[in-house]
Structure 1
Amino acid sequence: MEPDLENVVLIDETFNLRRQTMETDAELVERCKAKDVQAFEALFMRYQTRIYNFIFYQVQDAETAADLTQEVFFAAWRHLSSLRANEAFSSWLYQIAKNQCRNFQKKRRLKTESLEKSEVLATSATQNVWEIPDESKNPEKLTLSAELQTVVEQAISELKEKHRTVIILHYIEGLGVGEIAEILGISQGTVKSRLARAREKLSEKLAKYED
């Protein structure tokens, strides 16, 4: 039986709700391994916003982020028995989210490449093709009055994956260097180096929006 993550039912008993709120991740995970659905719903409520935000900044689409968030938690429920250290649940969950994003982006790239090939074939087979110039590729055509939030999100999405991930985890999710190192399986020194490089790249991208 899988937990109903789309319609999480709030627990009526005040005592049970308070207990689940106070329980550590490790305690809730232990109950989950015994197929306690309510314990997993408590973990879902605890982490859904963080995981959604992490995914959203990777894929830049609210609906896709919501769908992938659901997939992350379903995958976590199905494979929870493979988690050896219950206290490492949050790091493990972010690893699942990172892999979901990577798989999605790979599929999106393949789909885009397939569509581009189809367009090339269609153009080759057509003698009279109307070509409309894409002015959006011209930086001077960008609307400088766009909200800062949108500008920052776009700049983050354009970073390389390794830089984008550490920026999201550190500045948006609020995780420390040690936690990020554990999630990504790299040294703390590498995390610091990537953060420095990511900040440098963001500064370059955002410089043109400064007055």
Structure 2
Amino acid sequence: MKICKNKQSMEQYFETCILEHGKSLFNYIYSLVRHKELAEDLYQEVLISAYLALPSFEERAKVKNWLFKIAVNKCRDYWRKEKSANRFWEEKVYLYAEDSNVIEQPEELILNKCSQEEMVVTLQDLPKMYREPLLLFYYHNQTLMEISNLTSLPISTVKTRMRRAKDRLRPKVKELVANG
């Protein structure tokens, strides 16, 4: 198909391309992101970008390949933004908490008051999967992200294990404080 430079013929050409390749384009985007609503949003962004860039389309390229390349780039942009947003929550939130005068949680106060030796003995009663993140966090001053990287676990799993470990420790630590 030959692209004419007048607006009406460009719109007709674009409409023909979308009718011909739209479904396969959407399926391709969906195969990349595996989320229907996200795929729909990205599909719309691809169509808008393609329409705006249509005057610069080089006829020697195949239009389907051109549309799919725009789709890949839109998906990469989305993943980059998503990764950046997640990085904020995984790293920067903890930095803000350390910088500000946040009131420590009661279990953190108790953990800090107990002697290190008694606490390590108490920690030995926990299963390794719960003990390891606590030791890394409180005794080796590792951040949650560092623990996640060291253990090859998602940060959400590290948080869950730390919470469960604290829940299991709470009654034992109360005994230590009462006896100490």
Structure number with larger C-alpha Rg: 2
- From the two aligned structures, give the one with the greater helix fraction: 2
Q: Greater RCO between the two (CA within 8 Å, min separation 6)?
A: 1
